[in-house]
Chains A and B, each alone.
Chain A
C-alpha cells in the first residue's frame, strides 16, 4: 500500500556559515498522524521546522505536500499551504483580546447585505475591502465559537492576552491555526511551559485534532508524552537524520539511545580521589519564576565537597541555571538555605557571597561574564577590583592590575591582537572565555561554579578548560558544574545529579550509569527520589 503523506521533506540540508545545522534530513508526515521529532539540544529540530514554516530556505532538498513539490520561501507561503506553527515563545499581542489575536492578519471584513440597490451595495463592499476595512467581529466570533466547540478548546474571547494563563495562550495559538484552516500543525516544544496537569489536557487536545484529520509534527524531548500521543518518531542527532520508528514498535530506551548516540568516548584523565569536607550545602532551594509563577526549582538539596566535581546534568531549561542563580544571588531564592563552609550565606548580597568564597564562571559570557567594552586589564579584576591589592582608597591600583593581568594572560594563554589594553569585544569567544576561567580560578576560592564553561568553543579550547577544571579538583577545590553535554558530564563528574522540571530526579556516578539511562532520566521517563547530600570525610 502506498503511504499517504501530508508532508515530505527530503534530503533537507542547511548550513549556517561552516556549521551544518541540517545534513540531508528526511521527514515524512502521514496524513492524520502525529509525528514526534526527537533529539538533543542543538540537534537541528528547530532549524528543520523553521524551514518547513518558511523562516529559513534550505540549501538542498525538496519539500512535497501531498506528493506535489512545493516551494516555501517565507511564512506566507507556508500559510497559503495551510501549514501552521506554534512557536515555543508565543506570538501574541499582549494588549489585544483573544478574539483580536485570533483574527489578526486574517480579518473577516464586513459585507453589506440587504435590499439596497445593487450598485450601492457593490461599491460599499468594494470600498470596505480596499479602504475602510471594517471588521465583522460578529461573524468572526461565530466562526471561532464553532472551532471552540468542535475541538473542545474553551477560552474567553473577550479577555486580554496579558490577563490569561500560559495554557490559555497556547489554546489561542491553536485556535489561530485552526481559524486559518491549517491542516498541518507544527508544535515546537509545546509542553515546556505547562504543568503536569496542563500537559495531560494538551495531549487530549492533540488527540482531538488528530481525530478531526489534522496532521501534526510535535517537537519534544520528553519521552513520556511522545510515547503517549505519537504514531511515529523521527530521531535526529547533531544535524543528521538517524531513524524513523513506529511508536508502537519501539521503546523509550531505544529512542533515548538513538538520541544521545551510543558512541561513548572513554576518558582516562581523572584520578581516583576521596572527597573531603563539605564546602557547599544547598537545602530545600525553591525558586519561582516571577512571570509564570511556576516553580522552576523545586525543593532541591545537594552538597559539594572538597576534591569532587558535582555536575547538574539535564536538558536545557530544567532549572539548572536557576539553581546557580539562587546560590550566587543573581536571582532571589523563594525558599531554602545555602551554607558555605558551614556558614549560612542565604541572606548575603552578591558582593558578600563573592567575598565569602564563591567563584563563578557564568553561562553567558557576554551577558554576565564580561564587560565587552572594557579592556582585558579591566575585565580581569571585574569581581575583585575593590580588593586591597587592586585599589587604594578610591583609586584603582593600575600597576598591580596590569601586573596581575599580564600574568593571567600568560598563564592562560589569552590571545588578542594587542596587549592587555585590547577591548574584549574584539576578541574571539575562546579567548574571552579564557579570561573568565582564568579570573575565577585565580581567585583561589574553595568553591568554583562553572556553568557550561565550554559553550561555543572549539575542541582544543574545550580540552584546555577540562584540564583546568580537573586540576582544580586535584587541588581539593569543590567544583559545581552545569553541563548539557553528556560527553563532558562523563568526562569530568564525580557525581551526576540529573535535573528535570526543577527537581533532582537521579543521582549517579559515571561508573554506575550509561548514557542511555541518563537520557531516560533527563527526559523525565524515569524518576527517583533523591537526597543528594553526601557526608564528607573529615581529615
Chain B
C-alpha cells in the first residue's frame, strides 16, 4: 500500500506529470466557462450544445459519417500541430513568435501561385512555401539580432504587411488562382498535382480525400523537432540562449546565429501549416482584414501542450476537436459568433497553463513549509 502511495507521490512530483495535470485543468476550466456562455445565451439548448461541442463527429449516427468527420478533424489537426511547433521552437530560443500568421500568409501566397496557378508537384510547392515563410520569419530574427527590435512588435507588423501583400497580389492574379465571385483563392482539388496525395488513407476514413500523407508527414516533423531540441547541438544552443542568454554568451554561443536559426525554423513550420491546409484543399485564402487565426491558435495549443512536441499532438487535437464540434452548434439555434466565442474561450483559457502551474506551485510550497514546521515541532 505504502509502495503504491510513494509511487504515485513521486509521479505527482515529476515535472512532466505536473504539466499534464495543469493542462487538463486548463482544458476543464475552459470547458466549464464555455458551458456558462452557452447557458447565458440559450439555456434550453445549452446542454445539447455542449454535447455536440464535446462529441464532434460522435454525434452522427451512421458509422460512415463518424469516420468521415473523424478523419476531417484529424486532417485539420495537422496544420495546427505545425503551427504549434513553430511557436514552440522560437519559444525555446527565448522568442515569442507572434508573427506566425504573417509567415503563414506568405506561404499561402506561394502555394496559390505555384499550386493553383502553375500546378507544380505538391512536394516542391511545399518546400518552396516553407522556404519563403522561413525567409519572412528570419526578417524578424535579423531585426532582433542586429537592431534589437522586439520580435513581438516586428512580428505583428510583418503580419499586417504580409496580409495586405497577399490580399493585393492574389486578388489581382488570374482566374486560375483567384475566384473573384466569392473573393477567395481557387481551392486546390484532389485532381491537382499540388494536392498532397492521400496514399490510400482516405479509404480508412470513408473516402474522405483530405486525409492523407499530410498526417504522416506532420508526425515525422514532430519527431524531427523533438530530436532537434533534445539531441542536437543546435537544440542545445537554442535552449541555452532561451534559458540564459548571458551564460550562452559566456560559453561562446552566438546569439545572432541562435536567433536566426530559431526564427527560420519556426517560419518554415508556419509555412508547413499553410501547406498542410491549402494543399489538402480544405481551406482557401479569403479576402480578409485580419491575419489568419491559426497563428494565434498555435500559441494556445503550444502552451496547452506543455511546450513539448509530443504534448502538442494532443493539445492540437483537442483544440481542433472543440473547434469542429463548435462549428456544428450553429444548427442548434446558436449563431456562428456564439460558436466561435465559445471555442475561443476554451482555447484561450487553455493557454493559462503557466498561471495554473504557478498557483499549484505556491500551494505545494505552502504544504511543504507546513510539513517542515510540523517536523521541527516533533523533533523539539
> Which residues does A use to contact B, with CB under 8 Å?
328, 330, 349-354, 360, 362, 367-374, 378, 382-383, 385-386, 391, 394-396, 398
Cα–Cα distance between A367 and B246 once the two chains are bound (Å): 6
Interface string of B226-243 (1 = CB under 8 A from A): 000001111010011001
Contact, CB under 8 Å: A394 / B236? no
Contact, CB under 8 Å: A354 / B252? yes
Contacts A330-B249, A372-B243, A373-B243 given; does A396 touch B236 at CB 8 Å: yes
Contact, CB under 8 Å: B251 / A382? yes
Contacts of A386 in B (CB 8 A): 233
Cα–Cα distance between A350 and B239 once the two chains are bound (Å): 19
Does B363 lie at the interface of the complex (its beta carbon under 8 Å from any beta carbon of A)?
no
Contact, CB under 8 Å: B233 / A350? no
Contact, CB under 8 Å: B233 / A394? yes
Does B147 lie at the interface of the complex (its beta carbon under 8 Å from any beta carbon of A)?
no
A92 CB to nearest chain B CB (Å): 24
Cα–Cα distance between A350 and B253 once the two chains are bound (Å): 8
Contact, CB under 8 Å: A385 / B236? yes
Contacts A350-B252, A383-B252 given; does A370 touch B247 at CB 8 Å: yes
Of all chain A residues, which has the CB nearest B235? A396
Contact, CB under 8 Å: A368 / B236? no
Cα–Cα distance between A370 and B246 once the two chains are bound (Å): 9
Contacts A371-B240, A374-B240, A396-B231 given; does A351 touch B247 at CB 8 Å: no
Contact, CB under 8 Å: B233 / A395? yes
Contact, CB under 8 Å: A371 / B234? no
Does B244 lie at the interface of the complex (its beta carbon under 8 Å from any beta carbon of A)?
yes
The number of chain B residues touching the other chain, given as a range, is 10 to 19
Does B172 lie at the interface of the complex (its beta carbon under 8 Å from any beta carbon of A)?
no
Q: Which of A352, A369, A396 contacts B250 (CB 8 A)?
A: A369
Contact, CB under 8 Å: B243 / A371? yes
Interface string of B196-232 (1 = CB under 8 A from A): 0000000000000000000000000000000000011
Cα–Cα distance between A396 and B253 once the two chains are bound (Å): 15
Does B254 lie at the interface of the complex (its beta carbon under 8 Å from any beta carbon of A)?
yes
Contacts of B247 in A (CB 8 A): 367-371, 382
Contacts of B240 in A (CB 8 A): 371, 374, 382
A158 CB to nearest chain B CB (Å): 31
Cα–Cα distance between A83 and B123 once the two chains are bound (Å): 75
Contacts A371-B243, A372-B244, A373-B243 given; does A330 touch B234 at CB 8 Å: no
Cα–Cα distance between A353 and B244 once the two chains are bound (Å): 20
B198 CB to nearest chain A CB (Å): 33
9 sample A-B contacts, Cβ–Cβ < 8 Å, listed by A number: A350-B251, A353-B252, A368-B249, A370-B247, A371-B247, A382-B247, A385-B233, A391-B233, A398-B231
Cα–Cα distance between A311 and B244 once the two chains are bound (Å): 29
Cα–Cα distance between A330 and B250 once the two chains are bound (Å): 6
Ranked nearest first, the 10 interchain pairs of A and B with the lowest CB-CB distance are A351-B252, A368-B250, A350-B252, A383-B251, A394-B232, A382-B251, A371-B244, A367-B246, A354-B252, A373-B243
Contact, CB under 8 Å: A378 / B250? no
Which of B232, B233, B248, B251 has the most chain A CB within a 10 Å cutoff? B251
Cα–Cα distance between A382 and B244 once the two chains are bound (Å): 12
Cα–Cα distance between A374 and B251 once the two chains are bound (Å): 14
Contacts of B253 in A (CB 8 A): 351
Cα–Cα distance between A353 and B239 once the two chains are bound (Å): 22
Contacts of B234 in A (CB 8 A): 394
Contacts of A370 in B (CB 8 A): 244, 247
Contacts of B232 in A (CB 8 A): 394-396
A180 CB to nearest chain B CB (Å): 38
Contact residues of B between 232 and 278, Cβ < 8 Å to A: 232-234, 236, 239-240, 243-244, 246-254
Of all chain A residues, which has the CB nearest B246? A367
Cα–Cα distance between A367 and B250 once the two chains are bound (Å): 9
Cα–Cα distance between A382 and B251 once the two chains are bound (Å): 6
B376 CB to nearest chain A CB (Å): 15
Contacts of A360 in B (CB 8 A): 250
A sample of 11 more A-B contacts (CB under 8 A), given A350-B252, A371-B247, is: A328-B250, A351-B254, A369-B250, A370-B247, A371-B240, A371-B243, A372-B244, A374-B239, A378-B236, A382-B247, A394-B234
Cα–Cα distance between A383 and B249 once the two chains are bound (Å): 10
A374 CB to nearest chain B CB (Å): 7
Contacts of A394 in B (CB 8 A): 232-234
Contact residues of B between 177 and 193, Cβ < 8 Å to A: none
Contacts of A372 in B (CB 8 A): 243-244
Cα–Cα distance between A131 and B224 once the two chains are bound (Å): 63
B304 CB to nearest chain A CB (Å): 21
Cα–Cα distance between A398 and B239 once the two chains are bound (Å): 16
Contacts of A373 in B (CB 8 A): 243-244
Contact, CB under 8 Å: B243 / A395? no
Cα–Cα distance between A508 and B3 once the two chains are bound (Å): 64
B71 CB to nearest chain A CB (Å): 36
Contact, CB under 8 Å: A374 / B243? yes
Cα–Cα distance between A374 and B238 once the two chains are bound (Å): 12
Q: Which of A352, A362, A382, A396 contacts B233 (CB 8 A)?
A: A396
B99 CB to nearest chain A CB (Å): 26
Contacts of B243 in A (CB 8 A): 371-374
B242 CB to nearest chain A CB (Å): 9
Which of A328, A353, A385, A398 has the most chain B CB within a 10 Å cutoff? A385
Contacts of A395 in B (CB 8 A): 231-233
Cα–Cα distance between A349 and B257 once the two chains are bound (Å): 13
Contacts of A368 in B (CB 8 A): 246-247, 249-250
Contacts of B246 in A (CB 8 A): 367-368
A396 CB to nearest chain B CB (Å): 6
Cα–Cα distance between A13 and B112 once the two chains are bound (Å): 75
Of all chain B residues, which has the CB nearest A349? B252
Cα–Cα distance between A386 and B253 once the two chains are bound (Å): 10
A133 CB to nearest chain B CB (Å): 34
Cα–Cα distance between A289 and B194 once the two chains are bound (Å): 58
Cα–Cα distance between A362 and B248 once the two chains are bound (Å): 13
Contacts of B231 in A (CB 8 A): 395-396, 398
Contacts of B254 in A (CB 8 A): 349, 351
Contacts of B248 in A (CB 8 A): 371
Contact, CB under 8 Å: A383 / B233? no
Contacts of B251 in A (CB 8 A): 350, 354, 382-383
Contacts of A350 in B (CB 8 A): 249-252
Of all chain B residues, which has the CB nearest A378? B236
Cα–Cα distance between A391 and B232 once the two chains are bound (Å): 8
Of all chain A residues, which has the CB nearest B230? A396
B251 CB to nearest chain A CB (Å): 4
Contacts of A330 in B (CB 8 A): 249-250
Cα–Cα distance between A468 and B223 once the two chains are bound (Å): 44
Cα–Cα distance between A368 and B246 once the two chains are bound (Å): 5
Cα–Cα distance between A369 and B233 once the two chains are bound (Å): 19
Cα–Cα distance between A330 and B249 once the two chains are bound (Å): 7
Cα–Cα distance between A372 and B244 once the two chains are bound (Å): 8
Cα–Cα distance between A373 and B233 once the two chains are bound (Å): 17
Cα–Cα distance between A398 and B236 once the two chains are bound (Å): 12
B55 CB to nearest chain A CB (Å): 40
